[in-house]
Amino acid sequence: MRQAIVLPYNTIFIGGAITQELRVNLNRYLSAGTNARMVITPKDADLLIMLNETNGKQILSYNNLGQVTAYRLITQITFYVNNKEGDELIPSADLFLTRDMDFSVSAPTAAEALEVLLVSDMRQDIVSQIVRRLATLQSKKPVVTPVQ
């Protein structure tokens, strides 16, 4: 984001099943890029961001010896945002990112380093996407779900 986001909330809680790296990146970005401060318990928060992260790897190709030559790295994040009253501000959404990478049996350490770099890049992309969606809260009213 180019400028700080002014949210109508003073405190933010991040919860759910996510990696420590994603949690730290999101905490850092929200602390520096918004007017809100991060809290460690949901009861102290005005805004609750709940996330679930799933990571995976698929084989894309083999060489003529049957050795893997390319992988697809996959990260999926499901998240939603509520206020402290439980009103849904951002409905449940999925973010799905992939990165393709070549793999060399003769240089597995380099491939490992590349995988770590690509996964880190995907997490930064996810943080940016979540923050862009949070920026819409500056003028958004809670979604009211009709009771049936």
pLDDT greater at residue 105 or residue 16: 16
- Quick check: 67 pLDDT over 70? yes
Model confidence, pTM: 0.79
Instruction: Kindly indicate the confidence band of residue 144, based on its pLDDT and cuts at 50, 70 and 90.
Output: very low
What is the model's pLDDT at position 143?
46
Neighbours of 134 (CB within 10 A): 25
Please give the structure tokens belonging to residue 111: 């491939």
What is the model's pLDDT at position 1?
47
Mean pLDDT value across the chain? 85
At 117, is the secondary structure helix, strand, or coil?
A: helix
Residue type, 102: D
Q: Is the dihedral of CA 77, 83, 88, 90 positive or negative?
A: negative
What is the model's pLDDT at position 95?
93
What is the model's pLDDT at position 140?
54
CATH superfamily ID and name for 11-138: Lipoprotein like domain (3.30.160.150)
Q: Is the dihedral of CA 102, 108, 114, 119 positive or negative?
A: positive
| Domain spans, the chain | 11-138
Span 82-107, pLDDT tens digits:
988 888 888 999 999 999 998 887 88
Measured distance CA(76)–CA(3) in Å, rounded: 27
